[in-house]
Amino acid sequence: MIFGATGDLAKRKLFPSLYRLFSRNKLDKFAVIGVARRSLSNDDFQASVKESVISSLGNKEDLDQFVSHFYYQSHDVADSSSYVSLRNFADQIDADYELEGNRIFYLAMAPEFFGPIALHLKSDGLTDVKGYKRLVIEKPFGHDLESAKKLNQQIRSAFSEKEVYRIDHYLGKEMVRNIEVIRFANAIFEPLWNNRYISNIQITSSETLGVEERGRYYETSGALRDMLQNHMMQMVALLAMEPPISLTTDEVRSEKVRVFRSLRSVEGEEVKQYFVRGQYGEGMVEDVTVPKYRDEAMVDQESNTETFVAGKIMIDNFRWAGVPFYIRTGKRMATKSTKIVVQFKDIPMNLYYQTEKMLNPNLLVIHIQPEEGITLHLNAKKAGGHLDAQEVKLSFANTGIHAMNTPEGYEKLLYDCMRGDATNFTHWDEVAYSWAFVDKISAVWEKTKAAFPNYESGTMGPKAADELLEKDGFFWWPMAELEVDICK
């Protein structure tokens, strides 16, 4: 059951992902009930599903067969009688398709409805099933720790923790999932993966888009809550966690939770030493002049909301003591790109001074998007020359090998949920620790007015974000330089 079936997420991501699973024979017996407020006939709903698949994947021969599995129910989320008719309808569909009482509820709608819907699902009998029941829930999971706790209580009164699948779509990305394989399947990395050999780790997730039509939501969120609390922190956890005993959901999650427990808490006066906020001004993005954030729709002319955040995260445990994890994310930046740079320490003595500069440190770059792959930066002898060293880059490109894009994150996450694999969904403990960390930063930012706008659209953020690294003797590796050779 998809709640919010006429919304943007369902159209852009869920229907095309379901189609891809269908076309690969991953969906055997299935039916989808689209649930939303407006009244719509089954035929119209099926037509809209078809249209969304066509617009994202092109026309397909078996589309009519695919959409014949889709049904529509108009629904009032606050009204019990609406849930009762939904239950009766679902029971009927269950019998027709022999679904053995297995049911997934996908909440693809505004977060204020998550709690009330979960409560109704239980009180109106939709969760009384013979088979499994699972709840898939989109972000944001609360606005801060307190609201997240309240939401969690509501959800948990109807579903157990094991039945809750909290989506973080970054965990569906091919190269985010690859982090653990790169780390734990290679003898050359894991022994070096600690503070003896790594000097710092940089994670950048930059976007060129502005806030688009989401001004109202974004004003209450900002980059800290929208990107850092979830996606960025999840990448930090995957990079920093200890090798799990095995790859079971519980083992992987408990290692991630241990990372969150080791985060150095940053509060009060310290916040400005560790974190930088920014808001975009007018500027040029891809040769087009774009307005400042404060001129976007539904945004306050005096808005104090950050559209950029950079931070230094310290993980105070044996493995990572002293190694900064620098993270930055923002809207209206110079390029749309997500990359992780693992910078290794310099060798103890340099025998190969080049004429102009010092040896480059070894880097392992994990390209998350748009290109997918890894690059290892090494030093090797310059061909023909004297004993001069020069940088060489070994690249592996995912897309280059398969000659097509890797599957959408949502497709993998939906499939995981159907199989009952919650490893790539966020556990409540991860959510709670991450909010506790972020709340201390927002508490300071909310109290003080920033001198916004402080970066021009089309740039890599405010100058202070560069200074954050400079004062530690580092710099952000330029994105354009890192892109060389990969997936071209």
The residue whose Cβ lies closest to ligand BG6 is 226
CB of 12 to ligand BG6, least distance (A): 11
**CB closer to ligand BG6, 226 vs 411:** 226
C-alpha 486/C-alpha 228 separation (Å) is: 26
Chain centre distance of CA 237: 12
**CB closer to ligand BG6, 214 vs 319:** 214
Tokens (6 digits) for 373 = 């792959």
CB of 229 to ligand BG6, least distance (A): 10
- Residue 296 sits in the site that holds ligand BG6 (CB under 6 A): no
- Residue 163 sits in the site that holds ligand BG6 (CB under 6 A): no
Q: How many residues bind ligand BG6 (CB under 6 A)?
A: 5
Binding mask 118-157 for ligand BG6 (x = CB under 6 A): ---------------------x------------------
Residues within window 75-114 making contact with ligand BG6, judged by CB under 6 A = none
**CB closer to ligand BG6, 214 vs 345:** 214
439 phi, psi to nearest 5 deg: -55, -35
Q: Exactly one of 75, 120, 169, 231 is catalytic; name it.
A: 231
Tokens 């749309």 correspond to: 336
CA distances for 120 relative to 84, 106, 225, 461, angstroms: 10, 14, 28, 44
**What kind and span of H or E run contains 153?**
helix 145-156
CB of 384 to ligand BG6, least distance (A): 43
C-alpha 77/C-alpha 94 separation (Å) is: 22
Known catalytic residue: 231? yes
Closest Cα to residue 223, out of 163, 294, 141, 311?
311
**CB closer to ligand BG6, 158 vs 238:** 238
**What kind and span of H or E run contains 46?**
helix 42-57
Give the list of residues 6+ apart from residue 158 with CB closer than 8 angstroms, or none: 118, 119, 121, 122, 127, 135
CB of 226 to ligand BG6, least distance (A): 5
CA distances for 67 relative to 83, 124, 261, 361, angstroms: 24, 28, 46, 54
**CB closer to ligand BG6, 69 vs 139:** 139
Binding mask 223-262 for ligand BG6 (x = CB under 6 A): ---x------------------------------------
CB of 15 to ligand BG6, least distance (A): 18
Give the list of residues 6+ apart from residue 379 with CB closer than 8 angstroms, or none: 352, 359, 360, 362, 389, 390, 391, 392
**CB closer to ligand BG6, 255 vs 416:** 416
CB of 405 to ligand BG6, least distance (A): 13
C-alpha 177/C-alpha 193 separation (Å) is: 18
- Residue 207 sits in the site that holds ligand BG6 (CB under 6 A): yes
Residues within window 325-344 making contact with ligand BG6, judged by CB under 6 A = 338
Tokens (6 digits) for 212 = 């688009």
Catalog residues that contact ligand BG6 under the rule CB under 6 A.
139, 205, 207, 226, 338
Residues with a known catalytic role? 231
